[in-house]
Structure 1
């Protein structure tokens, strides 16, 4: 059985490859929902389902994985910053505080069998002054990363502690994805 990752994220591809899963990447054309009134888990799961569904239609013989990751603080989802200024503002907001990273995952198996779930990880940021923010942004391209940061790239400069799945913060709760795939082998 074929496994497809419905994502353009190189980080998700790296995580699946490191887990030893053979897969193909097919970038989903789905448009994400941006609805701050939705509960975080539901919003991430819904976006993951939209991405997986858009690819599964053309690949009914495959198991398709869709995923969506958001950073939440004060009940507000922080997606990918649209500018360096927005990335700075996100890092200022996260400075010295804990926030939640939610990744929604949707698995669509042959026959249209669908399973959605999510993982939550709490991340505690270090106190960041303007110099620390500028130094971090000089090292890491953050415009394609939820919350304006990448834990896997110089994360020790900004993150004090995580409680939960590290891979979830990167963009895919790999252990849970693999476990669910193995429950019903490909």
Structure 2
């Protein structure tokens, strides 16, 4: 089940099979995405403009436009790339996050990794949630995470409503809530993980 999801685009259906890009195109894409990530992390998503990315990456603004079209597409590509990296880690990476550990350990590692990811990529994920407060639950990125958690819950509690339980376990990892708790209430990432462990203990011991 895990592996079947990897071959799908997070932003819409199965991946096409494009021709291999030129080395300079790959290099420019990497520079543009790295620059975009730095801008979002340092200045916030509102500072992400095509001109700003061109200056920060050292790539001509015309190339930035040709490669990504507009800021919305650049932002989507940045989200997509980060999500692909995360998917690879929990679907095919080393245990306990990846295959090879018992389902309870994998689920705990996954929820902890979600906390770390939100803390590290807060501005990017907040912007994604704000752009589509309800609709992002239907995006492929969220559906992949939900499918993964549902699978683990089903292994742990065959009689439970695994899909609903997965939604409820994922809810505390929303970027808005984690931001509120860490920046607004002074809670540490470890405290959030401890709280998630308390919730998870109910699933594991039920």
Q: Relative to total residues, which structure has the larger strand share, 1 or 2?
A: 1
Higher relative contact order (CA 8 A, sep 6+): 1
TM-score, normalised relative to structure 2: 0.27
Q: Normalized against structure 1, the TM-score is what? A: 0.29
More helix by percentage = 2
